[in-house]
Homo-oligomer: A and B are copies of this chain.
Amino acid sequence: MTRAFTEIADRLAEQAIELPSWAFGNSGTRFKVFGQAGVPRDPFEKVTDAAQVHRLTGLSPTVALHIPWDLVDSYSDLAAHAAENGVALGTINSNTFQDDDYKLGSLAHGDAAVRQKAIDHHFRCIDVMNETGSRDLKIWLADGTNYPGQDDLRGRQDRLAESLAAIYARIGESQRLVLEYKFFEPAFYHTDVPDWGTSYAQVSALGERAVVCLDTGHHAPGTNIEFIVMQLLRLGKLGSFDFNSRFYADDDLIVGAADPFQLFRILFEVVRGGGYGAGSDVAFMLDQCHNIEKKIPGQIRSVLNVQEMTARALLVDTDALAAAQRAGDVLGANGVLMDAFYTDVRPALAEWRESRGLPADPLAAYAASGYQEKIEAERVGGVQAGWGA
């Protein structure tokens, strides 16, 4: 009661999942950042690592950068380096949470000077975008407060709107401002963009080229994320995904690791709403931290998880599903969906990869490649990249 794999094979070729440069550097919790052998020491090495993932999977043609972590003297050099390695530079992410001035906020800060500094940082990001040819400026804000009364919620929201308008005015006609929301952390009492409703209201006030980024780890416990996917697609405002998974808070685990069925439901709704493939503007990215597992295999595992679930989502027999729904057949309709979820797509995907010149088992191919041993041996000097590097 699912479609044949052959029916969906071509659609799978439309998939592209952007990798975050920071996933290749060290990361951790507030308690400890564990270093790993072979971690990149500069943006060039990050791009080199990201390219390995694409080389073995064919799924990740672009790399997202984080400014200032990925500042380099010449973005044409970095872009050329990427191209040499078979990938391209993608989304530019701003960072207004690691400067002392941003202790009490950035774009929503009470002090106009701090706000301007944060706006200027985004202007600089747009400059980078213009050099790299990036389409998207992604803004995640750590802005918020820890204690009730600490600041004026309404005033902050209004100031945020003003700051975003200033940034939006600067982006080009073919560029987008993508505003991420997050339930909590690092602020604990409130965050200034805590939910999709706020992000939606803010970007709607900006204009057509402002859209929402949905990070799958940024919701309250129990939130039906696929509903939000549906709603944002319906409203024409779903800009991009930050994929990861979580058991509790914003754990930033490998996408699909904590609740594979949720990932399936999300991807089914993406396909349902026209958010997948060549005709869609929705960008797929990973945003994860490999705190204890190896970075490159962690990224390979992640894009494969998305691919496998996309295949399951595409396999759903939508005609049978619609018929059962129309008939009010609760168990039958659910059964059509579950049938696709429980289908083991891995053998067919292995063949699919081989037919496209990719290794059947990218993780095994990586292990056999010697790349990990090579970088562990070579990258011994310098400063390892990390969240703060």
Contacts and interface: CB of A to CB of B under 8 A. Distances in A.
Contacts of A223: 220
Contacts of A343: 344
**Number of contact residues on A: which range applies?**
35 or more
Interface in A160-186: 183-186
A273 B200 CA distance: 20
B387 A231 contact: no
Contacts of A28: 30, 186
Contacts of A226: 153
A2 to B, nearest CB: 11
A352 B251 CA distance: 40
A149 B31 contact: no
Q: Copy number in this complex? A: 4
B32 A98 contact: yes
Nearest to A202: B231
Contact of A31 (B32, B97, B150, B334): B97
Contacts of A387: 30-31
28 contacts: A27-B30, A30-B387, A31-B142, A31-B186, A32-B97, A32-B98, A34-B103, A104-B328, A147-B257, A147-B293, A148-B265, A149-B321, A152-B322, A153-B230, A154-B233, A184-B249, A188-B247, A189-B253, A190-B224, A197-B200, A197-B231, A200-B201, A201-B231, A257-B334, A259-B261, A260-B261, A297-B331, A343-B344
